[in-house]
């Protein structure tokens, strides 16, 4: 919406209760309690329910799904295979995994296409979602990895930011200021990575004056085996995503 890609009046959201719909209406979107209405009024349909609710919803909307529809599921752990099984044969289905910072247009999203979805649909989705951040098409097998890296990854960053700030507080800086600076540091570093395209190891080296503060600090991080711990975290979250998908 903020990017002006789609006018609010073209967006229709449905939910069983009004609990969440107020926020949509405030943005100028139309709302309804009828899922079928969404199918009737829209071409591009996002399935944004919790995973366990989804099969029921799919059963409900199946009769109204046609060849012109593009169905994009956001449900974690629900495979393309499952989606395609519960929808009419040949339906254009795609699976999308976003992450939280989409709300500030700095998200990291990956999507995978089902057998019925073609280049046109993929291009449409990518173009639309680029307004929310980085959006890349991937093989379905990467989606769980994306969860471990970036879906959950956002939490790792929050943890790291908190720890940075805490270190600063220990050294005498007020917490609020420390927090803001920590966040800006992460933002700036990430921006440099994305804009320069340079290898993070090289960017790291660029900051390390011989015998200076940075290399002393990095030594502490290496002693704590930070790298391995982070790898463990990504692995654990990915494995959990895989396990949950099987349930």
Partner 1 sequence: MSVGFIGAGQLAFALARGFTAAGVLAAHKITASSPDTGLPTVSELRKMGVNFTVSNKETVKSSDVLFLAVKPPIIPFVLEEVGPDIEPRHIVVSCAAGVTISSIEKKLSAFCPTPKVIRCMTNTPVIVREGATVYATGTHADVEDGKLLEQLMASVGFCTEVEEDLIDAVTGLSGSGPAYAFTALDALADGGVKMGLPRRLAVRLGAQALLGAAKMLLDSEQHPGQLKDNVCSPGGATIHALHFLESGGFRSLLINAVEASCIRTRELQHLADQEKISPAAIKKTLLDKVKLESPSLSVASASKVSLFTNKSPSSKKN
In the complex, which residues of this chain contact partner 1 (CB under 8 A)? 199-202, 205, 219, 222-225, 227-228, 231-232
- Residue 35, marked binder: yes
For residue 223, say whether it is annotated as part of any ligand binding site.
Answer: no
Q: Is 48 annotated as a binding residue?
A: yes
* Closest distance of CB 225 from partner 1, Å: 5
* Between 157 and 208, CB nearer to partner 1: 208
DSSP state of 120: H
> Closer CB to partner 1, residue 190 or residue 230?
230
State the minimum distance, in angstroms, from the CB of residue 170 to partner 1. 22
Residues 6 or more apart from 14 whose CB is under 8 A from it?
31, 32, 33, 34, 35, 37, 38
> Could you give the CA distance from residue 38 to residue 18 in angstroms, rounded to a whole number?
16
Tokens of 186: 């992460």
Judge whether 32 is annotated as a binding position: no
CB of 144 to partner 1, least distance (A): 12
Taking the least distance from each CB to partner 1, the nearer of 90 and 200 is 200
User: Known binder of ligand: residue 108?
Assistant: no
Kindly report the number of other CB atoms within 10 A of residue 18's CB atom: 11
For residue 228, the minimal CB distance to partner 1 (Å) is 4
DSSP 144-165: HHHIIIIITHHHHHHHHHHHHH
Q: Residue with structure tokens 């966040």?
A: 183
Minimum distance from residue 157 beta carbon to partner 1 (Å): 19
- Token pair of 138, please? 């991937």
* Dihedral (CA of 201, 203, 208, 209) sign: positive
Region label for 6, one of left (φ > 0), alpha (ψ between -120 and 50) or beta (otherwise): beta
Are 14 and 36 in contact, with CB atoms under 8 Å apart?
Answer: no
Annotated binding site for NADP(+): 48-51
Binding site per annotation, positions for NADPH:
35
List, as residue ranges, the binding site.
35, 48-51
């Amino acid at each position: 919406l903020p990017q002006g890609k789609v006018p609010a009046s073209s967006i229709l959201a449905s939910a069983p209760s009004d609990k969440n719909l107020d926020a949509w209406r405030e943005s100028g979107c139309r709302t309804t309690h009828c899922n079928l209405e969404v199918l009737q009024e829209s071409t591009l349909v996002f399935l944004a329910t919790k995973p366990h609710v989804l099969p029921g919803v799919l059963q409900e909307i199946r009769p109204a799904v046609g060849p012109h529809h593009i169905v994009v599921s956001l449900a974690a752990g629900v495979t393309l295979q499952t989606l395609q099984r519960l929808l009419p044969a040949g339906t254009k289905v795609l699976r999308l995994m976003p992450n939280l910072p989409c709300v500030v247009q700095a998200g990291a999203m990956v999507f995978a296409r089902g057998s019925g979805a073609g280049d046109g649909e993929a291009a449409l989705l990518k173009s639309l979602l680029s307004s929310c951040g980085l959006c890349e098409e991937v093989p379905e097998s990467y989606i769980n990895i994306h969860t471990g890296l970036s879906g959950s990854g956002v939490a790792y960053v929050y943890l790291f930011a908190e720890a940075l700030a805490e270190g600063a507080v220990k050294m005498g800086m007020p917490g609020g200021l420390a927090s803001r600076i920590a966040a800006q540091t992460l933002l700036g570093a990430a921006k440099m990575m994305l804009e320069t395209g340079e290898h993070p190891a090289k960017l790291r080296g660029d900051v390390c004056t011989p015998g200076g503060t940075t290399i002393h600090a990095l030594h502490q991080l290496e002693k704590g085996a930070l790298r391995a711990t982070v790898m463990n975290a990504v692995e654990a979250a990915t494995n959990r995503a895989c396990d949950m998908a099987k349930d």
